[in-house]
Amino acid sequence: MTPHTLTVDLGARSYPIVIGAGVMDSGFDLSPHLEGGGCLVVSNVTVAPLYLEKLRKCLPGDEFACHLLPDGEIHKSMATAESILDKLIDVRAGRDTTVVALGGGVVGDIAGFAAACYMRGIAYIQVPTTLLAQVDSSVGGKTGINHPGGKNLIGAFHQPRLVLVDTHTLLTLPDRELRAGLAEVIKYGAIVDRDFFAWLEINMPALVKRDADALIYAIRRSCEIKAEVVAEDERESGKRALLNFGHTFGHAIENSMGYGEWLHGEAVAAGMVMAAQMSGIDCSELSRLKALINAAGLPVRPPPAGSAKLRQAMQMDKKVQAKKLRLVLLHRLGDAFVSTDYSGDALLETLGMADA
């Protein structure tokens, strides 16, 4: 099957997203996307045994180094980023070295952040191996690490040279991780594409069963939407903020529970319901959102972390401006907007879902 290629249009920093089944097995040539002075592959102890050898076939020669990270969101830290920087220094990487991130969102975010920091920025490539990373975190150039005070508080915008999506990597993805990725897919339909939302309502059973055609379409459409938004608003000064639907509440859930207790997609799923409920959309629309999230096997309520704890975590969210939290709300499914003009009582009532 011929891979699908999309472009994130950012002028001189534009790059392709290549999506296909088994593109690593076919020996996709990464050479044209490398800076030219060797590369450092960053992966983790779970993914590398499965896919490092496949990736090796896509790289020219045998001249590359590898650095493996521990697995899990809890390791998305400054210490882990420093370990990558130490490795780059140890192998005498130069400004013409390329970092290749092989793994899920945590690997991609940390490797991209290290690439952004090293010598004030070197090239990197994303090879995402989880559904969440394939449809969201690998595209758009957001890199970073967590801090005890908040998720992704430390980071940089640094666009990759290429995003290579091999859907065969989803065959080894645990069910829970696949479901978590579906939260981000649902998000795209909920914020800008009502027709895609309706398609998901019909095809969610196929996606959960990992139907190849359904997955490729869902990934491609999600990437198309994100590429369009990023091309219009690279640094989140306007429309790109819509991509945070469910994330403000979701990040607060992750922070309150301890990173890794709830997967990112699980927290975003509950966060989308909270945001939709606070939006005051029609009950039938809210019911459709809940039903689709439930069909994906994801939570429609936050954990009982307590409203006070969630509110405290939200105050350190990156979307706070002039001490006012920006929230992504819905006019209806497929029509989202960013607001600071909302009722404080409505926010407290929504956060009260975590008091149950």
pLDDT digits (tens, 9 = 90+) for 42-69: 999 999 999 999 999 999 876 789 999 9
Active site residue 240: yes
Instruction: Give the chain's residues under pLDDT 70.
Output: 1, 62, 318-323, 356
Q: What's CA 185's distance to the chain center, in Å?
A: 10
The pLDDT value recorded for residue 19 is: 97
Active site residue 54: no
Per the CB < 8 A criterion, the answer to whether 84 and 95 are in contact is no
Q: Which of 33, 251, 319, 326 is catalytic?
A: 251
Q: Which of 158, 247, 288, 319 is catalytic?
A: 247
Taken in order of first residue, the domains within the chain and their CATH numbers are 4-172 (3.40.50.1970), 176-355 (1.20.1090.10)
Q: Which of 44, 146, 152, 244 is catalytic?
A: 244
Beta partners for residue 321, in sequence order: 324
Q: Which of 236, 254, 266, 285 is catalytic?
A: 236
Q: Which of 33, 76, 226, 288 is catalytic?
A: 226
The pLDDT value recorded for residue 264 is: 93
Which residue from 9, 12, 20, 18 is spatially nearest to 213, judged by alpha carbons? 20
Per the CB < 8 A criterion, the answer to whether 114 and 88 are in contact is yes
Q: Which of 75, 142, 151, 161 is catalytic?
A: 142
Active site residue 251: yes
Q: What's CA 103's distance to the chain center, in Å?
A: 12
The pLDDT value recorded for residue 218 is: 98
The pLDDT value recorded for residue 321 is: 63
Active site residue 177: no
Beta partners for residue 49, in sequence order: none
The pLDDT value recorded for residue 322 is: 57
Active site residue 236: yes
Active site residue 244: yes
The pLDDT value recorded for residue 21 is: 96
Active site residue 87: no
pLDDT digits (tens, 9 = 90+) for 68-89: 999 999 999 999 999 999 999 9
Q: Which of 73, 177, 184, 254 is catalytic?
A: 184
Active site residue 323: no
The pLDDT value recorded for residue 258 is: 82
Q: How far is CA 197 from CA 36, 65, 288, 331, 332, in A?
A: 42, 42, 10, 15, 12
The pLDDT value recorded for residue 51 is: 98
The pLDDT value recorded for residue 356 is: 67
Active site residue 226: yes
Burial class (CB in 10 A: 0-12, 13-18, 19+), 32: exposed
92: Cα within 13 Å, side-chain hemisphere: 1
